[in-house]
Each structure stands twice: as structure tokens, then as C-alpha cells.
Structure 1
Amino acid sequence: MPDHRPSNLIIFCSDEHARRVTGCYGDPVARTPTLDTIARLGTRFSNAYTPSPICVPARASLATGLQVHETRCWSSAEPYHGQHESWMHRLREAGHPVVSIGKLHFRRAGDDHGFDEEIEPMYLANDGAGWVQGLLRDPVPAYDDTKAFSEDIGPGETEYTEYDRRVSHEAVKWLKKYATKFKTRPWCLFVSFVSPHYPLKCPEAYYRLYERAEIPGPAAQPPEHDVLQQMAQFWNYDDHFDDGMRDVARKGYYGLVSFLDDNIRRVMEALEDTGGARDTSVMYLSDHGEMLGSHGFWAKSVMYEDAVAVPLMMMGPGIGEGINSTPVSLTDVATTVQQTVGLEPKPAREPWMSRPLQDIISDPEPDRFILSEYHDGGSPCGITMLRYREWKYVYYANGHAAQLFNLDDDPQELNDLGRSREHERQRDMLRNLMGHAVDPESVSRDAFADQKMLIEKLGGVDALLAMKSFGHTPVG
């Protein structure tokens, strides 16, 4: 019988970890022994997705269990600031200690996100305004900050690697002090690293792990879709690479994944040393993936698997060992946390809404579908993805053609069936299925309307263009 007793919970969150770049997900090169152990001792979800392939909306949905069109945290300039109830609020109100250490990417200090304490937090840049240039989508302007992506690669230290060391240090310190202190109600610790987010530069010892390795090459096919071509011109990172630089950058990324794994190892060993491991569940996830040059894209912002598919695994009391193929989302984390510590989460009215992963482990649902949305920089329209069985359906608002992929037959997404006459019935079926959860045209209009009001509030287009831009959020 499964053990359903409440337990403490550590959630390890990373930033920009593509699911495939993990040993337990089949990468023959990636060295991730800690994550592989968590997966082996618990359940690994083989079809986990982000609700948005960009940090700010994804993290708002992670906190609330709501879809992007429900939080209206559309972009990198429309962050979570406590405007919707979070799982952190629910735990705190019920008397469960709930603490964050590391990157939040919420608006700013002083907002009530629901945590008792936020240690070494990272909030949005520009005093909470975030990356405002992404609000300008009609028309889409030029983006001039992509060259730096290719200039900061290979072995070495960055402010992000130093930050992640502080995060693991503070997590170890917290566990030594509190892991076995709270006797009446289970605690939840959210430990959030920046790695493997770019810059794709990693400490030398981790780069050396891959210096002579043959890193698997990505799907090189450039996009033929008109929206993706426009986005590729905006996010033109690849224009600044040659083949040698691409190899160095990918090795830097793999090194950052191993660096992340090693930081998690330190925290897990500290948990074991406290004697609290048997009463603690552990979850690992990432907010979204990284394209690494696949289809000509680096970073995220598109609906290809490398950007939207995320690693998700959980071990602990009552969590059986195995692989679960039910489509799941980071939105499911909110109810999962509540159920883990012993709270009764609000029941989901519809199958795609936030569901405890424990229930999905006990009763897999291969016919479930999940959603992902993008309403941020570079895109002239709202983009909504639906994953159902073997199908991935991507809807582009404003009359643009849809994309359709059979991921069982075409895992690299090289054969777009969006215009195939033979697959018209599949597209119609998936569009109707999407309509049960969301009207993507209406949602796209809502996003543009909210962003237009925010642009005016910030002083207009010229004011936004004059504001400081950045390739990645600075520490502090």
C-alpha cells in the first residue's frame, strides 16, 4: 500500500534545463548522478512541460497552479507579485514553515508571495519592471543584445555560478538548523538555482568533464513557419556563432548541468546528515528548457521540445519507483506541494487543471492534455501549444498556420504536419480539444491589450526603448 503520510518537502528548481540533457532521460553524455538517483528512487515524468517557455510566466504558474492566461503574467515584464493565491500562501496560512532560497523572478522585495522567509532572493531587474522591451510586439522591433550570448562561453566563473554556490550554502545551513526542528507540521523548502541558464560558461572542473566529449548535435533544420522566421530574426543568437563556438557553448551548458547536479548533491547530503531524509520528499524541476542551437534557436521562447519539455521527478514517502508518461505541467506542482505536506488541495474541475502528481502516479492518465503559452518578445501573435497522446499542436493566433508534430514518429520535430492534407482531421480534433480549455484568439487579444496599457503606463514606446535592456537578469 502507498504511504500517504504527510512529509517535509524540498523543491529543487533550476533555470533553463532542457529535459533531454540529463542522464536519466537518456542523454549518453550528461553526467547527472544526483538527479539520476532521485529519478531512480522515485518517479520520473517523461512528458512534463512548462506552462510557458520563458521564466516569468512559468514561475507565476508554478506558484499558483494557474495557466498563463489565468495569471495574466504574460511576459518578462508582467511578473507575479502575490496577486493570486499561491501554494506558499496556503502552506503559511495552515502553519507550515515555507522558505525560499535562491531565484524567484517575482516582482520585488516587499511583495507578499507567501513565503515566511526569502533567502538570497533574485527578483526582476529594473526594480521589478523586468525586461520591458519584450512588450513591443506590434510591430516587433530589432533586438540588439544577442551578440553577447556567443561571447561569454566555455570554462570560467560568472556571477551566476557564484550565486548558485551561495544558494547551496544557504540551503545546507538552513537544513542543519531546521530540518528536524519542526515537529507539528511538515515544512517546505524551495531551493532555486540559476544554472544552467546562460551565460554558457561553467567552472573549469565541470567544463573538463566534457572537453573531449562528443556532444549530441541538435536538429539543425531552420524554421519554415513565418512566425518562427520572424522570431529567428529577433532572437538571432545563432548569427554570432561558428561551428567551433557552438561546440564550446554546448559543452559549457553541459558543464553547467553537472555543476547544478553537484550543488544539489551537497544539499541532499546535508539532509541525510541531519537525519531528516526519511521524513522528507524531494522534487526536481526546471522552469523551461534551452534550445542550444536546435532549429537555429538558442535560449527559449518557442514551442519546440528543447524549450518546453522539462525534467520533473519526485521521490519520498508514498512515491513509487518508475517512469510515468502522463502529460504533466509545472501547474501541477501547486496541488502536489499541498498534498505532500498534508493539506487538502482544491479539486481540479477539469483534467488539465492543477492535479497532485501523487494522484497521477497512482492512476496514470495517458489521455490527459496539457497547455503552454507564449506572449513575449519577438512574437507578433499569441502562441498556444497543446500536448495530447503522441501529438503536439501549436496554434498561432491572427490567422497564421498551425504546426503539428507526431512526437512518437518524429521526436526531433523535423516533419511539420501543420499543412498536411492527410492530417486535417488530427488538426481539427486537437483545435477542438484546445477549445475546451482556452480560446487562443481571445487570449492573444487579452495579452496585447494588457501590454498596450502597460506600455502607456511606463511612458510609451520611446520610454521603453530608452530603458535598460539586458541579455539575462543580473544578480542583485
Structure 2
Amino acid sequence: MLRLFLLLLLFAQSGLLFAEEPAKVRNVLFIVSDDLKASVLGCYGDPLCKTPNIDELAARSMVFDKTYCQGLVCGPSRQSFMFSRYVGASGSGPSMAEHFKNNGWYTARVGKIYHMRVPGDIIAGTNGVDHAASWTERFNAPGREAHTPGLYSLLNQNIFTTEEENRQSTGDPHRPFVTVESEGDGTDQPDYKAATKAIELMREHKDNPFFLAVGFVRPHYPMVAPPNYFEPYPIDKITAPQTLPGDHDDIPKAGLARSTSQKSGISKYPDNVKRMWAGYYAAVTFMDVQVGRVLGELDRLGLRDNTVVVFTSDHGYHLGEHEFWLKSNVHEEVTHVPLIVFTPGRKSGRAVTFAELVDIYPTVSELAGLSIPSDIVGHSLVPAIADPTAILRDIAYSGGGKQRSLRNDQWSYMNYGKDGEELYDMQEDPGQFTNLAKNSRYAEVLNGFRERLSKIQ
């Protein structure tokens, strides 16, 4: 009998006998950053960018290292993950937030969740392309954006000024290359206002189930933050992305970014490429502080033990890699995004499975004890939250229209229909410098990807 007891005790301590008992989920806090590439977060390996609050969340959570967006710009991506449908697909089911609302939960949007024009809708304080049926209430977080008083830099034109006239803003062609070292302490900024409102709503609704979606606009351009957020990132600490002569020669025209260093003019000012990185880092760090404010209030209210927290971004961003800028293509810098899921009562870890942003909807539904609608394409990630070695996807899909891609552990495949293909061996060539699509040695690999892509609607 004693031997049996000791054996049972050993199994229990090892986790082999009793399943981990998750806490009851009463709330979901869904945090979305804008234009945030996974690789700049400390918890995803960046040694310079300061993101202590997101890193602390990651240390408590399941981190999905191989997460890929489906849409390549803000609007399509956000529509895709909110409805768990691939870009361009039709459907009639409720959105993620609407699903919770229909099941009696209070749902609120603060800031940008569905598409908003940044800076246009932020300056105007308008709803953008919102989905009103998703929300019990919705709140915008306006700001002056490029018109914020402070040191304005238009880096592709090498302009630096504190004058408030003639700044590139809504609809202007050079607005993606604007940074502002703002006057004041940052309390006038949209993300600060969004965090403040989120804190207010958690206090107000702490006693009843809520689905609170908090959308931060940074690091989306213009990259605005007080000067102390720029100080940790002097350009002598920043290494510009590697570029190679003739890098574009083996990329189909359809795979080239719309904005390049040469087209934008920033190639004339090499140090300003580093200043763009400094502005991006500063905006990320400012956003991270706002995440910390929201999570800190979650703890103060005693809600951490019954709240699922999801942190992600709509897509990544080019900052001079391959001399590309912005987004709207299927290269790694755009498609690879962070996904961090904190689940009360579950152990932290790093999941090895591939994941897609469309998987968020079924995941939070299952964690909250709600049914999963039948017309969504995402897969629940709950098995990987319970066991980080579980493989739920061996490949991830991104894209829409003529730009489509598949990514697995070894290969990154990009297809532009009749306009060409790209294939990269990500184990040998993680920077995606050598396109193997025209190399006959890889015909079988290409055929396999073409067949798999043909089955995705």
C-alpha cells in the first residue's frame, strides 16, 4: 500500500496522473498593437528594444513563436482575425467580440481594433471601419499625431524642426517617415488615453464578465513619444539592416515593396534609417508602458486569476530590410507577428506549433467555455497552451488576392499567381536573400506548396 501511495505521489508531482486544472475564466482582455513586428520585442529576441511589461506578460504566458498574420495591411488583417476568416472569404457568423456579447458578456472597444486610418481617424476621433454589432460600448482615443508639439523629423527628406506648420500628415505622401519627440509627459497621446479608458472600464465592470479589446496605435507611424523614450536608442547603438547589391534581382516585381529606400529618398541619408529604427523603438517602448498600466490595474483589481490576456499585432513592418519599407507584402518582416496568451491556472512556456491570427477567436471562446462557431477557419490553441510541444499546425498561411504565402519550419513560399514565386530555405537563409523558385532542384518542394495553396479558400 505504501509503495502504491508513493508511486501515485510521484506521478502526481510529475503531472502524469492529474491534468492541470485551469481557473474559471470570467474575462478576456484582448490587446492589439499596430504594425508591430515580432522580432523587436525583448521576449522575441531583440537585445535593444525595451519592452519590460510585455516581456513580463510573456514570462507568465504561453508564447507562440511561430505566429503569422493573414492580412498584410491593417484593415484586412483585423477583419480576418475578428471573424476568423481568411482575407476575401465570405461568412455570416458573428465576430469574436459579438460572439461574447451574444452570450451575455459586456464587450467594449477602446482605440483601434477594426481598421482606423492612422493618423486620419485618430486626429478626428472617429470610429473608422468599425463593426458596431461587436460592442456593448466603444470608445476612441484621439490625438494630434504628427501635429503634436515637439521635435518633428521627416527622415526621408532630412527635415528636423519644431515648427508646427507644413508637417506631413493625413494623406500626405511622406507621412510614414515622420517621428516626433513630443513635448510633455505623453498623457496627450492616443495610447495613453486608451490605457486610461481601459483601466476605467475594468474598474466599472470588474464584477461581471467582460471582453475588453484595447487597441494601441503605436508603433504605427507617425512615431510619437516623449524625448525620454528616444534616449535609450542613440543611432550609434543601432545597426541598420543588412542590404546586398542586386538583392531585388531574383524577386518578382509583384513581390517588391511599394516603398523602398530609393523611391522614398531615405537611401540618401543612411543615418536616418537608424533614426527610423530609433523612432520605432521609442514608439514600441511607449506602447509597452501603456500595456503595463493596463496589466497593473488588472492585478490591483484582483482579476488576473480569472482573466485571459491576449497580446498580438495585426501584422509586422519593414524598416529597411531588403531596402523595403512599410507592409503589404508576404516577406517575413510583415507576416511574422507576436502572440502571447496568458491563461489563469496554466503554466507558462513557448509553444512549438505554428499559429495563425485566425486561431485567436476559437481559442478565447474555448477558454471562456463558449461554443466555437462552425463557420470559422481558425483552430483552438488550447491544446498547445496545455502542452507546448503539441503540433496543431505544421504550416501557416498569409495573404489575400495575388499575394499568398505558406511558412513551415524549413521553407517560406510566396506565390503571386502568373506573376511569379519566391522560395527561401529559412534554415540556411533566414534573411530571405536567395530565391530558389527558379532552381530546378526544388521543383518537388514547389509543387507541394502549390498543391497545398490551391486547397486554401
Judge same fold: TM > 0.5, yes or no.
yes
Partner of 1:427: 446
* Native 8 Å contact 2:28 2:211 kept in 1: yes
What are the residue-to-residue correspondences of 1:220-259 with 2, within 5 Å?
A: 220-221=243-244, 222-224=247-249, 225-228=251-254, 231-232=257-258, 238-241=264-267, 242-259=269-286
Partner of 1:120: 140
- Aligned counterpart in structure 1 of residue 386 of structure 2, from 362, 366, 378: 362
SS in 1 for 2:322: helix
d(CA) in 1 for partners of 2:97, 2:280:
31
Count of aligned pairs between the two proteins: 392
d(CA) in 2 for partners of 1:312, 1:383:
23
d(CA) in 2 for partners of 1:414, 1:371:
21
Q: One-letter code of the match for 1:243?
A: P
d(CA) in 2 for partners of 1:253, 1:333:
26
Partner of 2:103: 94
Task: Report the alpha carbon displacement of residue 163 of structure 1 after superposing the two structures with TM.
Answer: 1.1
d(CA) in 2 for partners of 1:366, 1:334:
15
Q: State yes or no: 1:341 paired with 2:361.
A: no
What are the residue-to-residue correspondences of 1:81-230 with 2, within 5 Å?
A: 84-106=93-115, 108=128, 111-120=131-140, 145-150=172-177, 152-153=178-179, 155-156=181-182, 162-179=189-206, 181-182=207-208, 186-211=209-234, 214-221=237-244, 222-224=247-249, 225-228=251-254
Q: Alpha carbons of 1:347 and 1:215: their partners in 2 closer, same or farther (altered >3 Å)?
A: farther
SS in 2 for 1:69: coil
Q: Alpha carbons of 1:160 and 1:216: their partners in 2 closer, same or farther (altered >3 Å)?
A: farther
Task: Report the alpha carbon displacement of residue 408 of structure 1 after superposing the two structures with TM.
Answer: 2.1
* Native 8 Å contact 2:61 2:348 kept in 1: yes
d(CA) in 2 for partners of 1:237, 1:14:
27
SS in 2 for 1:11: strand
Q: State yes or no: 1:411 paired with 2:430.
A: yes
* Native 8 Å contact 2:176 2:221 kept in 1: yes
Partner of 2:42: 23
Deviations 1:324-368, CA, capped at 9 Å, x for gaps: 12111111111112112220213689xxx3112212333521653
Partner of 1:32: 51
* Native 8 Å contact 2:314 2:337 kept in 1: yes
d(CA) in 2 for partners of 1:429, 1:111:
38
d(CA) in 2 for partners of 1:149, 1:157:
21
Task: Report the alpha carbon displacement of residue 195 of structure 1 after superposing the two structures with TM.
Answer: 0.4
Q: State yes or no: 1:309 paired with 2:332.
A: no
Partner of 1:129: none
* Native 8 Å contact 1:155 1:202 kept in 2: yes
SS in 1 for 2:88: helix
Q: Alpha carbons of 1:94 and 1:236: their partners in 2 closer, same or farther (altered >3 Å)?
A: farther
- Aligned counterpart in structure 2 of residue 373 of structure 1, from 386, 394, 399: 399
Q: Alpha carbons of 1:118 and 1:35: their partners in 2 closer, same or farther (altered >3 Å)?
A: same
Task: Report the alpha carbon displacement of residue 244 of structure 1 after superposing the two structures with TM.
Answer: 1.5
Task: Report the alpha carbon displacement of residue 48 of structure 1 after superposing the two structures with TM.
Answer: 0.5
Q: State yes or no: 1:3 paired with 2:21.
A: yes
Q: One-letter code of the match for 2:309?
A: V
- Aligned counterpart in structure 2 of residue 385 of structure 1, from 397, 405, 414: 405
* Native 8 Å contact 1:59 1:287 kept in 2: yes
Q: Alpha carbons of 1:38 and 1:166: their partners in 2 closer, same or farther (altered >3 Å)?
A: same
Q: State yes or no: 1:394 paired with 2:414.
A: yes
Task: Report the alpha carbon displacement of residue 213 of structure 1 after superposing the two structures with TM.
Answer: 5.6
Partner of 1:466: none
Structure 1, unaligned stretches of length 5 or more? 73-82, 123-143, 376-381, 439-476
What are the residue-to-residue correspondences of 1:51-62 with 2, within 5 Å?
A: 51-62=70-81
* Native 8 Å contact 2:32 2:113 kept in 1: no
Task: Report the alpha carbon displacement of residue 228 of structure 1 after superposing the two structures with TM.
Answer: 4.4
Identity %: 24
* Native 8 Å contact 1:157 1:201 kept in 2: no
d(CA) in 2 for partners of 1:262, 1:317:
22
Deviations 1:359-400, CA, capped at 9 Å, x for gaps: 23335216532211144xxxxxx1111112321111102x12
SS in 2 for 1:166: helix
Partner of 2:356: 329
Q: Alpha carbons of 1:57 and 1:235: their partners in 2 closer, same or farther (altered >3 Å)?
A: farther
Partner of 1:294: 321
d(CA) in 1 for partners of 2:62, 2:256:
39
Task: Report the alpha carbon displacement of residue 203 of structure 1 after superposing the two structures with TM.
Answer: 2.0
d(CA) in 2 for partners of 1:110, 1:212:
38
With the length of structure 1 as denominator, give the TM-score of the two structures.
Answer: 0.76
Q: One-letter code of the match for 2:340?
A: M
SS in 1 for 2:139: strand
SS in 2 for 1:35: helix
Q: Alpha carbons of 1:110 and 1:148: their partners in 2 closer, same or farther (altered >3 Å)?
A: closer
